[in-house]
Structure 1
Amino acid sequence: MVVGATRPWRWALWTHIVLAALAALLVLVHGLRAALPRPARPAVATACLLALAAPLARYVADRFPPEHRIVNPPLPPETMDGEGAGPKSPFFPSSSETNVGGTIPATFFMTSQACGRCHKDIYDQWNSSAHHFSSFNNQWYRKSIEYMQDVVGTKPSKWCAGCHDHAVFFNGRFDRPIKEQIDTPEAQNGLGCLSCHSIVHVKSSMGQGDFTIEYPPLHDLAASENPVLAAGHDYLLKLDPGPHKRTFLKSFHTLQTAEFCS
């Protein structure tokens, strides 16, 4: 038994939609030919074509919205103060921002195992990847940041944290020397699934971490460890995976991969 619009049956869904639309169009054309005088038929045919073009245009607009395109500005900022939200940002000198304009919970980046409930193969690949070991679970990086903070303080090291240390950075704890929190789960988390898939806007591929991360309000439900809530969430997701896909897979993830990763 097949439940929901699962990917292996996507062809059946689209076949059903296309055939139903064509059948409705043929019935409409047949009815209009019988009911309309010949001079009026071209105008009606044009109106029908426009009616078909409207949903197609809407699909293209939804699939490739302007905010999901990576376009560099003509010139870079004159100084570092012009990057990201500037010195007033809690994340400066990193260019990265959040949709709430401030910090977000560290746990948001620490629930990759919840993604593994459906995406097991990808989760297993991530578990041994450079992304997973990008933060203070990487001893080369750890020593670099510890030395940097000893020499120039914590603020300049935020420039690195915008890409490397989301769990311990976006919750506002990077003002504290990392040596004092090196053994915390946040410092050892690395980059999780949502470090990339919660990015909703990339302002440019210049500088460092010039992106905006969105904190979805239903995150706690999706990542809940309560088996009843988790099962309910997964069942509803399989019934209609569209909203989940629109939230976590933007067009720049698939069509501008090089620009996004840069």
Structure 2
Amino acid sequence: MNNLKYPIVICDDDNTLAQSLARSINVAVQNIMDDNSNYNNIDSSVVLVANSFEQAARYITSNNLQNGIYFLDIELSQNSEAKNGVDLAEYIKKQDANAQIIFVTAYDKYAPLTYRRRIGAIDYINKSQEREKIIARLQETLRAAFDNLYKEQKLAGKTFTYKIGRRIQKIDQAEIYFIESSINHHKVRLVTATGESEFKNSISNLDEENDFLIRISQSALVNPDNISAVDFSTKKIKFPNDEEVYYSRSYRNTIKMIVDKIGTIKVI
């Protein structure tokens, strides 16, 4: 089985504390591996110790970090106008959809701020505790992060992910009816059981990246599991929401194979 890579990033303006936390995290990770062989296929270690929002953001973006675990000091600067750990968490969530955020702070007063901003942190660790207590807490938190990431990756095979602007959207593959070229340049129209949306991409790219979708023309992909009817005389494919898309003559055999394979499709 291939190793599951879960990179760890620390960001704290106090470099001494940040380096100390990095050592504690690496000890905690090793303890988890030693205690439970189920975690032996995980490759997780500290890849960056940053001391500012800018340093962390630059590394995360340039390395396209995914499935990361992020330990962030909430108060990253003595300057109240500077970006803090909550700002960094929001930035990370836009870059890494599965990001596991853990706030480290010496002050419990900041916790309500993270709730208001809806960051979804998995833990808050008081960095002023004794090292042994911190390591024990880190083991508990890292196990939760590993489990969360593993579940997300298992579900990823059945989830369609796309971006609208800088926001990452996810939807179950089973909900998708079809995707077609939009009248808006360089965009596609996604139609699902719950509605529709547009985002930047191309039919060719989506065809290559998503095996569950079937190409029926130069400008459309369909989810065969959600086809309700096919009209061979007009080359129309119909869906449960009464929308229709046309298939190209060259894809007629593909449509016939889909109809034969899925016995519930009505032929008009």
> Structure 2 length normalisation: TM-score?
0.26
Instruction: Between the two structures, name the one with larger relative contact order (CA 8 Å, sep ≥ 6).
Output: 1
Structure with more helix by fraction: 1
